[in-house]
Every structure is written in C-alpha cells, then in structure tokens.
Amino acid sequence: MGGAPKAVRFSGRGVFVRSFYGVFGLKPYGTPTQPDPAAAVRLAQGQAQRKKRYNMRYHFDFVVVGSGIAGLSLGLKLAERGSVCIITKANEDESNTKYAQGGVAVVSRMEADSFAQHIADTEEAGDGACMPEAVKVVVTEGPDAVREIIDWGARFDKTPDGEWDLAREGGHSAHRVLHHKDMTGFEIERALLSQVYQSPNITLWSHKFAIDLITQHHLGVEVNKRSQEVDCYGVYVLDTASGAVDTILGRITILATGGAGQVYASTTNPLIATGDGVAMAYRAKARVENMEFIQFHPTALYNPGEFPSFLISEAVRGYGGVLKNRRGEEFMHRYDKRKSLAPRDIVARAIDSEMKRLGDEHVWLDCRSIDVDFMRSHFPNIYQKCLSIGIDMQHAMVPVVPAQHYMVGGIKVDLWGRSSIRHLYACGECSSTGLHGANRLASNSLLEALVFANRIARDIGDDFRAIPFCEAAPDWDDAGTAAPPELVLISQNRREVQAIMSGYVGIVRTNVRLDRALERLLLIYRETELMYKTTTLSVPLLELRNLLSVAYTIVKSAKLREESRGLHFNTDFPGKAVEYEPTVI
C-alpha cells in the first residue's frame, strides 16, 4: 500500500445527515445483504472463528452494482469499450427485475397509439410532478431500446396472427404493454444473462455485497453535503462466503441496485431489496430526491404469513378483473371514473379507504368473467398460485390488499444518469430521473431502465480512459471488531423498522405519525451504530443499516412535503400545492 492510510471504518460516516448526524451528533456509515438472515448471522459467527482470506484489490474500467435489467443491459453496452465488473449480493438472477409480472410499456403500433398519448398518460399518473424532458426521452427512445433486448433474445407474447399481444394496465389509454405471460421480468433477466455469460469483457461476481462507495472521505478529506466535486473511486465489497472485504477500484461506478421494499412489513419485493444503492449514495453525500413517493401496489394476494407478498398483476384488471368489497359491490366508481383501471395511487388509497370503512383486512378481485383458458395461458403463475392456496379463479374471487411495490424517488440524476458525485451514475429503480413524478405509471420502470442504460453508455463515451485509478484508496480495516454477542438484536431491529414504516409511513400519513416514526428510528439507529462499530461485518447487520438510512430519507422527505400529491397523502396537508417542488436531501 506504500504507506497509504487504512480506511477507518466508523469515522465521520454520516448516514442521517442534517438530522440524526447534525442534530444528535452521531457518527454513521456502511451496509450489505442476503436472502436468509439467519444463515447470514451463522456465517458471521463462523467468520469470527476462522481465519479469513486476505482482502484483495481489483481494477476495472466500469464497476456496476446490481444485476437486474439496468445493470445487465448497461454492462453489455460498456463491455464493448472496456473491462466491466458486475457485482450482486445474491445469485446473479436475483433482482427486482426477475419478479416483474406486467411488462414493458412502449409505443409499438402508431395506428392505435402515439408518443403523445404515452406521454400524457405518464404525466397524468405523475400528478403534476413529472419532468417533461425525462418523460419525452423515455417514451420516444423506448422503442429502439426494446428492439435491442428483443435482438438479445427476449421473447414477448404474440397473437395468433403474429402481432404483439399488447396488454393494457391501469392509467394507460391504450394497449401498449409488451409481456411474456405473467413473468416478463424473468424472461428479460434470462435473455440478458445469456448475453452477459458470452461477453469476455464482463466479470460477474455473485454473493458480493457492496458496503460503501469509495470517495475522498476515505483519503482523510472531510466530505459533506456542501462539498464541491466529490469523486467516486469504486466500492468496498464484502465477500459473503469468506468475510473478506475487497477494494474494487473503477474509473466509472454505476449503481443499479433496485428498490427498498424490505423497509416495509408488507411488500412484493424480494428479500434482497434493502435500498443498498440509495443508502450508499446518501452516505457518500450524493443528492437523494423524492423519497416520500413510495408506491403501494393495490393488489397483492392476501395470504397471511407469506412474505414477500405475491403480486396479482395489474394486467389482470386490464383484461376484466374488477375490485369488489365483501358485500360483492364494486366500489372504484366512487373514487375515480376509470374505476379499477385508475392509476395505482388512486386505487391503493381507495382500497385502503374501503377496508377502513368496513373494518376488513382485504378486498376482493373478481376475475370470474375472464375466460379460464385465457387466464391459464396469460397468467399461469398467478392462476397456479391461487390454486395452491385453494382459490379457483374461475369460481371464486381473490382476496387482495395493497403492499409496498416500488420506490419512485432515489438517487437524483440528470437526463444522462449522472449523479451529483463525479464518476458515479445511477440507473433503474434506485435512481430518480424525473420520469415518474409523484406516481409511477404501470410498466414504465423497465422501459426507463433500458433507456437510461443506453444514455449512460452514450454519455460515458471513450473519455473514461483519462480517469485514473485512485491507488491511494486504503484497504478496509476491521481491526478491533468481534462477533456480535446479541445476534437477536439485528433481526428484531429489522422487524421493528418494518413495523414502524408500515404503521406510521404507509399509504395515509399524518404529522404525528411521521414524528413518532423518526423518534423510534433514532432509538434503533443508536443501537445499530454501536453494534456496527464493534462487531465483524455481516449481511444482516449491513442490511439493517441500509434499511435505517432509507427509512430516514423517506420520513425526512415526507415531513418536508407539506401537501398531498400522488403517492404521498398527509391528512394534515390534504390539498395539493399550486407549484410542485421536488424534495431533495
């Protein structure tokens, strides 16, 4: 290392900047992930009892964190120019993309649809908060981006006459959603991974958890929100098998880490969705935007004890499924003229209101008017899932309830995917591009990831070769740490965070609930920080710290928005402001 200083693991790592860090004078930073928390805790114990392998240093032109549609498609493009390392904390196919049922919203038939219609639908769903330039870019550049993944082998359903079998979902004025049965994301992930495996310039590492971005902070320079020209040099990565922390240096780093559904007790997101990218970027002092806009999917299957929640695709309503209460009455007409095909924020609030009005734990989705053979061919997974718990959709209604589904806000980026930190880009759900505004239109997210992956690759160009590797970046130092004595604290604190967010920061919010959430999160934060400073790194501990970071940004942003708009509804501020302003922290 030539005498370079070692990374000090807990010096000045401000997670809860401006509030927890500034007001309470605490010192934060760090965070990782794994699907099975109990197994990960056992791994942490074993690592403390055996000698770890040495930490390693690696150099790549491009470091991509995440292996969903954003990370894989961008990695394929960058591999044409230089060496690419794609790291993912679980199996390479485990991502939010894999679980996307609906499809990709894109204009493909100009005789029945138009860019203007898609733009209008997106902006209406966004409730006055969309950035017009971002909407135009995604909608107009979308067809070319989709054609590219079709060329890479993605298969979308067609009609018997060979035309695309386009679905219509809530908020859309036309049939424009390309899909592969009810597992579109799985098909896209398959096609992209098959291409990645064939690329000699891509190194794909699974079970590597990105802990933190490497910036000037790790060189001993004070970095805060007022700092100008913060640089990203790569990432520190936990090898979950050995416990070693490697230093991966990159000329360019891209965060494509997906969402943060695990911050809530009820979510359709997989267990890996702990907001790692947003948490890392926020700790590194990148700008984070509009985190109060959390989308709850209206129709998750009501099946107590199942976690994550199983999603009943919005496309089911597009083909005739109707929402009803326990009396068998349709109710959506009382909330919106589009009835069951209204945008998700409206439908989710309507269901929440209907449940509270009648004192019920769920409502019903009536699909009995849909031809059973059509259901089996278009929604085979949904149909079989319902059968597995005793529900025959041909003869019985399906119990459904809203569940957290998508993080609309994220790392603030411009129209080329550039964050406020130099040499750091963000793409996909972890980013905030301005496309979705205050509420995401169904099936726009996969399209956004493809378009911005293309734009990031174009923006990087060939100039990246002039960016030097930061050889002064120190190796990770975990001296003085030991195995955690109270492992139950990690899993219990995670459940408490989820309960706080679901109870106080859900579909309907109040000032009192938000204040109480902040107070409760502070207590858990203090406990977690103490454990982090003294114990060996483990996936459950690092995930908990990321969840706390994300939970704080959601609550902080919600407190700053003194209006109700889109996905954010506060009964203390029920009206909508005349002028929209983004929430940037």
Give strand pairing partners of 311. 300
**Radius of gyration, alpha carbons of the chain:** 23
| Structure-token pair, residue 309 | 């929640």
Element housing 357 (H / E): helix 344-358
Q: Is residue 69 helix, strand or coil?
A: helix
Nearest-angstrom CA–CA distance, 555 and 63:
31
Determine if residue 234 is left, alpha or beta; phi over 0 gives left, psi from -120 to 50 gives alpha, anything else beta: left
Exposure on the CB side of residue 255, measured as CA atoms within 13 A? 40
Q: At what angle do helices 69-78 and 184-197 cross, to 10 degrees?
A: 30
Q: Strand 57-65 relative to strand 294-301: parallel, antiparallel, unpaired?
A: unpaired
Nearest to 90 by CA among 265, 251, 240: 240
Give the single-character DSSP code of 415. Answer: T
| Residue tagged active-site, from 9, 344, 494, 520 | 344
Which residue, among 237, 258, 255, 284, has the nearest Cα to 421 in the 3D structure?
284
Give the strand order in the sheet containing 410-412: 288-289, 410-412, 431-432
Task: Name the residue type at position 343.
Answer: P
Contact 538, 40 (CB under 8 A): yes
Under DSSP, is residue 121 helix (H, G, I), strand (E, B) or coil?
Answer: helix
Which amino acid, residue 241? Answer: A
Q: Detail the DSSP E strand segments found in 257-319.
A: 288-289, 294-301
Residues 243/52, Cβ–Cβ less than 8 Å: yes
- Name every residue whose Cβ is closer than 8 Å to that of residue 235 and which is 6 or more positions away in sequence: 63, 65, 87, 210, 211, 212, 213, 214, 248, 250, 253, 280
Contact of 403 with 296, CB cutoff 8 Å: yes
Is residue 344 annotated as a catalytic residue, yes or no? yes
Phi then psi dihedrals of residue 186, to 5 deg: -60, -40
Across 302-418, the runs of DSSP E, i.e. the strands, are 322-324, 363-366, 398-407, 410-412
Bridging pattern class, strands 424-426 and 245-255: parallel
The percent helix, strand, coil of the chain (3-state, each to 5) is 35, 15, 45
Active site residues: 344
